[in-house]
Structures are given as structure tokens and as C-alpha cells.
Amino acid sequence: MAEPFRRLALVGLGLIGSSLARGARAGGLAREIVAVDRDEGVIDRVRALGLADTVTTDLAAGVAGADLVILCVPVGAIGAVAAEIAGALAPGAILSDVGSVKAAVVAAATPHLPEGVSFVPAHPVAGTEHSGPDAGFAALFHGRWCILTPPEGTDPAAVARVRGFWEGLGSVVETMTPAHHDLVLAITSHVPHLIAYNIVGTAADLETVTQSEVIKFSAGGFRDFTRIAASDPTMWRDIFLTNKEAVLEMLGRFNEDLSALARAIRWDDGEALHALFTRTRAIRRGIVAMGQETAEPDFGRRGGGPKAAE
């Protein structure tokens, strides 16, 4: 087991932040947990749930003396938050985050970091469509990937400590460059979310189909699109704006492939359709084989609520 951090400060106590608080406490990963959030209502709820040893709305006071600070705020806010807390970060502290975009986060936060503070960005590829401190749970990261994207020249000891922290939460940790992360996530997460938002929006705008019919006759495919499209709108707005180059590149490729698919349907090219569906079925089986999903007909989503990784 990795050496526990002396003081862990979590800035932003939504789904991820509150899950980190629960997981860190359950795994003995920090001797003291500090919860920092500007929202008085969130702080009151965190206090009532007993998620942290100290709770505060003061960002600078909250991170003071912490040896690990994790920013659990929308990626568009990370630069401003890093600037606000920079002067309060302790020498030797490690700053991290949980954002779904990494190159923009590195560019926004790095200029504000004082000498002696290491920045080890992280992206836990896990989540649900729910938010707030009540939505979190300690097992959220169990068996899920966490991608670390330390900038070039980051202290290897700091990277190792952050790796140990996430492994202590049950994550499988991988390291890659920020730019490569953003390209990978653009196709595996960001573009699928964009498509889901678009399809649900199209259904809502159809004049010949009522909203009650859309809801009433939602089969598995559309139902899963609505699950993804229910994700936090502020977070996803920031993701698309901060990862626009990779998203647009992958969206262009998707549009080309979609045109080819439409052409196959128009010209009754059943062989092309069957070949595509066979190939994509193999991808699904690979995901199940790696333990990132279950082969159950209901995708294992009974009871605990559906999962929507970011």
C-alpha cells in the first residue's frame, strides 16, 4: 500500500470529488481530508455527510498545507482556480485534477504554479450522469482506468505518488502525453457524447413525433443515448471548447464514415453493412473481455444506476 498523504485537499465536491473523499477515507489514503467548494449548499451537505475532516468555501485556506491538491472543477475553470490557490500551495505539494481534457488543462494551470510544486494531471475514466456530493461512492473507480498525463520534466517521484493514490482507489493506471490523451478521448468519449446530445436534440425537435412517444417507445439504443446526454452540461460544454481540435478532427472522420454508411444503405449494399457490423461487434466483445463492461443483456445496470464514463 502506498504511503498515505498527510493532507488531501479536494476542490469541488461533485460526483468525482465526493467519490474521492469517500474512497480516500475507505482506503486510508490520506490522514486528513479537506473539502473545498464555493457553494455553501454543497459545503453544508458535505459536512452533514461527514465526507471530510475540514470543510471550507475559502480556496486558499483549504489548500494551505496540503501535500496533495486535486481540482475537481470543470476544465474551463482550472486556470482561474490554479491562479487563485497558487500562493497558498505548500513547497513540495502535488497539484492534480480530474478533467477529461488534458492539453488545455496543462496550458492553463502550469503558468501559475510556484517553484517546487509538481503538477500531475489525471483523468479517471469513470462516472455516472448524476452529480453533487450525494452522488459519489467509494467504489466508483474500482477496475476503471485512470490516465496520468504529467508534463515533460515532472518529478518522477510525484508521478509515482499520484499513481499509488489512484491504484489505492482501485483504478488501473496508464500514463500518456496530454496531446495523445485528448485524441484518444475525443473518439472514445467526447464525440460519442456529442452524437448523443445531437440525437436526443433531434428527437425532441421532431414535429411528427410527440415527446411522449419518444419517451414511451424508447428502446435500448435511444435510451442509452439519453443516459449519456443527461451528463453535466457545464462540464461537457467546457470539454468541447477546450478539446476542439481533437474533437473536430474525429468528428470529420465520423462524418466521412457516416456518409459511406448512408451510401451503402441507399445502394442496397448489404455486404458492406454486414462487414461493418461484424467488425464493430468485435470491438464490443473486446470491451467486455477487458472488464470495462458486462455482457449481461441489461449491461449490468440494475439497481445501482447506469454508468456514463466521462
Do residues 72 and 10 make contact, with C-beta atoms less than 8 angstroms apart? Answer: yes
Higher pLDDT, 171 or 210: 171
User: Could you tell me if 149 and 50 lie in one domain?
Assistant: yes
pLDDT for position 165: 97
Query: Looking at residue 169, which CATH number applies to its domain?
Result: 3.40.50.720
Count the alpha carbons within 13 Å of 41 in the hemisphere toward its beta carbon: 3
Output the average pLDDT for the chain: 88
Q: Quickly state the pLDDT bin for 91 (edges 50, 70, 90).
A: very high
CA separation for the pair 66, 91 (Å, rounded): 10
Cα–Cα distance list, 212 to 22, 154, 205 (Å):
39, 54, 13
Length of the chain: 310
| Predicted local confidence at residue 188, as pLDDT | 85
Partnered with residue 174 across adjacent β-strands are: 147
76-89 burial: b if 16+ Cβ within 10 Å, else e: bbbbebbeebbebb
Question: Is residue 97 helix, strand or coil?
Answer: strand
Name the DSSP letter for residue 188: I
Domain that holds residue 237: 180-289
The tens digit of pLDDT for each residue in 237-288 reads 988 999 999 999 999 999 999 999 999 999 999 999 999 988 888 877 776 6
Residues 119 and 81 in one domain: yes
What is the reported pLDDT for 15?
Answer: 93
Residues 49-83 have pLDDT tens digits of 999 999 999 999 999 999 999 999 999 999 999 99
With 0.85 as the threshold, say if the pTM is over it: no
Q: Do strands 145-148 and 172-175 pair parallel, antiparallel, or not at all (unpaired)?
A: parallel
| Single residue among 176, 206, 240 that ends a domain in this structure | 176
Predicted confidence (pLDDT) at residue 304 exceeds the cutoff of 80 = no
Query: Is 75 a domain residue?
Result: yes
Per-residue pLDDT tens over the stretch 19-53: 999 999 999 999 999 999 999 999 999 999 999 99
- Residue 36, C-alpha cell as written in the block: 473545498
The answer to whether residues 14 and 162 belong to one domain is yes
- 144 and 232 together in one domain: no
Of 189, 154, 203, 190, nearest to 175 by C-alpha is 154
Cα angle 194-231-290, degrees, rounded to a multiple of 5: 80
Amino acid 306: pLDDT? 36
